[in-house]
């Protein structure tokens, strides 16, 4: 099964038409997640990676809406967490310990102790943290399955780009140290692949996977028996932000890995995938009513009530609709800058003529705008629209002015007067 860019565009137009009536003076912005698109992409994932020994997971830091996380959990997904708050979000969304994969850049002693007691899968970020785990293991009767190191593969492709990660242990820098760490600790039985830079192509991703697979094989050779039971691949499937097409597809990803490292799929290792960005980006959008249209030195500016939802080198995609939710005629296009309350969101965006009260849709934000660290404060709606609207739900209530005022801090005007 495949989902085409045309199908995504059609479902988006249906969603806009149904949700535009919710936009008004009190609510000039809202977020949308389309469950039909998510389900169709999940089906593609199942077709590409059907084996029982492959566990699919969703990352809470990319998609933090409990309603969406519950949707994935009900379809057999696990959850990847990278902080204490993300872990709590996942637990409150219904995930059990055996469905959780935790790996944070920094943990306190107390958090590590809780993680060990919970029994969930844990990726250790560095050797100093591993020393702490050693002490906790001595105090534990049973060490949980799937505990291992987070390793940055430093594949040859990284030689062409500077690393932009602070995560994990460099494989090339510490290859022997990593092997020795596993040899000294029989209870380490998984390895978590961390990318130094997000792979731009599937071949880039495959190079990283080959490096980690070879590490597992090297360890088996050194130990005389299989020591790694599970390989966790976080990310590795680039997302197309230039159009509605899902490219590369999930089947393309499987083909690239199958061609490069076919041994990965013989069932020897349990595989954990995490393709959150690819599964959710196309399903999410932000709808914003145009409050003003300005002209400064022949530069047209559409002003909306949206903070910058995410910085992207390649820019954001926009679509324009009228106040009834009908897509505007694109036969004649103009260059617009799009601005929010605190700055520019998009520069020189080609749009039809925009008027006050029109609706701008900011596209492909499902993987970034609604995470726990996002500053997006408007309501978010889940929608199931496939020709006809069949389901809507509130996924997140927006922050009111009172919410923002109370979150600003503790008010102590009396103390200030004295």
Which residue, 239, 320, 315, 321, is CA-closest to 283? 239
Confidence of residue 140 (pLDDT cuts 50, 70, 90): confident
How far, in Å, CA of 55 to CA of 265, rounded?
13
**Tokens representing 35?**
């469950």
Confidence of residue 337 (pLDDT cuts 50, 70, 90): very high
Domains in the chain, please, with CATH? 35-280 (3.20.20.10), 282-400 (2.40.37.10)
Give the pLDDT confidence score for residue 387 in this predicted structure: 54
Give the pLDDT confidence score for residue 234 in this predicted structure: 83
Give the pLDDT confidence score for residue 144 in this predicted structure: 80
Judged by average pLDDT, the poorest of 35-49, 86-100, 301-315, 357-371 is: 301-315
- Encode pLDDT of 154-173 as tens digits: 876 555 555 566 889 999 88
Give the pLDDT confidence score for residue 404 in this predicted structure: 83
* Residue 414 scores a pLDDT above 80: no
Given the DSSP bridges, would you call strands 230-234 and 29-34 parallel, antiparallel or unpaired? unpaired
Q: What does pTM read for this prediction?
A: 0.93
- Rounded to the nearest 10 degrees, the angle between the axes of helix 109-118 and helix 127-138 is 60
Task: Provide, rounded to the nearest whole percent, the portion of the chain with pLDDT above 90.
Answer: 71
Confidence of residue 314 (pLDDT cuts 50, 70, 90): low
- Encode pLDDT of 220-249 as tens digits: 999 999 999 999 998 889 899 999 999 999
Give the length of the chain.
418
Tokens 């932009």 belong to 164
* Residue 175 scores a pLDDT above 60: yes
- Encode pLDDT of 27-80 as tens digits: 999 999 999 999 999 999 999 999 899 999 999 999 999 999 999 999 999 999
Give the pLDDT confidence score for residue 313 in this predicted structure: 56
* Residue 312 scores a pLDDT above 80: no
Averaged pLDDT, 362-370 = 92
On average, the pLDDT of the chain sits at 90
Q: 341: how many CB neighbours lie within 10 A of its CB?
A: 11
How far, in Å, CA of 201 to CA of 186, rounded?
35
Distance between start and end Cα atoms, the chain = 70
Confidence of residue 110 (pLDDT cuts 50, 70, 90): very high
Which residue, 362, 249, 253, is CA-closest to 310? 362
Cβ–Cβ under 8 Å, residues 409 and 416? no
């Amino acid at each position: 099964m495949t989902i085409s860019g045309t199908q995504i565009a059609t479902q988006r137009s249906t969603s806009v038409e149904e949700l535009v009536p919710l936009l008004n003076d009190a609510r000039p912005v809202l977020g949308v997640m389309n469950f039909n698109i998510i389900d169709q992409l999940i089906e593609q994932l199942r077709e590409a990676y059907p084996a029982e020994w492959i566990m699919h997971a969703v990352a809470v830091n990319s998609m933090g809406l409990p309603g969406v996380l519950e949707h994935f959990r009900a379809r057999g997904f696990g959850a990847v967490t990278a902080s204490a708050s993300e872990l709590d979000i996942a637990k409150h969304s219904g995930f059990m310990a055996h469905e959780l994969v935790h790996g944070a850049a920094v943990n306190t002693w107390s958090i590590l102790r809780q993680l060990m007691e919970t029994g969930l899968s844990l990726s250790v970020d560095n050797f100093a943290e591993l020393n702490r785990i050693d002490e906790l293991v001595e105090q534990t009767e049973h060490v949980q399955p799937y505990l291992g190191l987070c390793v940055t593969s430093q594949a040859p492709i990284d030689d062409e780009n500077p690393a932009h990660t602070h995560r994990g242990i460099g494989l090339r820098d510490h290859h022997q140290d990593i092997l020795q760490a596993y040899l000294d600790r029989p209870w380490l039985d998984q390895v978590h692949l961390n990318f130094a830079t997000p792979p731009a192509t599937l071949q880039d991703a495959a190079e990283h996977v080959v490096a980690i697979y070879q590490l597992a094989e090297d360890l088996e050779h050194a130990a005389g028996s299989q020591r790694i039971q599970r390989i966790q691949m976080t990310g590795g499937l680039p997302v197309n932000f230039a159009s509605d097409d899902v490219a590369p597809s999930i089947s393309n990803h499987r083909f690239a890995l199958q061609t490069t490292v076919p041994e990965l799929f013989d069932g020897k290792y349990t595989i954990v995938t995490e393709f959150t960005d690819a599964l959710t980006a196309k399903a999410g959008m932000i709808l914003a009513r145009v409050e003003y249209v300005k002209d400064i030195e022949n530069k047209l500016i559409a002003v909306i009530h949206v903070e910058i939802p995410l910085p992207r080198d390649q820019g954001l995609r926009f679509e324009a609709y009228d106040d009834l939710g009908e897509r505007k005629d694109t036969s004649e296009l103009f260059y617009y800058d799009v601005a929010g309350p605190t700055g520019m969101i998009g520069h020189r965006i080609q749009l039809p003529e925009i008027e006050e009260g029109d609706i701008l849709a900011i596209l492909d934000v499902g993987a970034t705008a609604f995470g726990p660290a996002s500053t997006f404060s408007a309501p978010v709606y889940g929608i199931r629209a496939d020709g006809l609207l069949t389901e809507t739900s509130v996924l997140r209530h927006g922050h009111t002015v009172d919410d923002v005022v109370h979150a600003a801090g503790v008010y102590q005007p009396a103390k200030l007067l004295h």
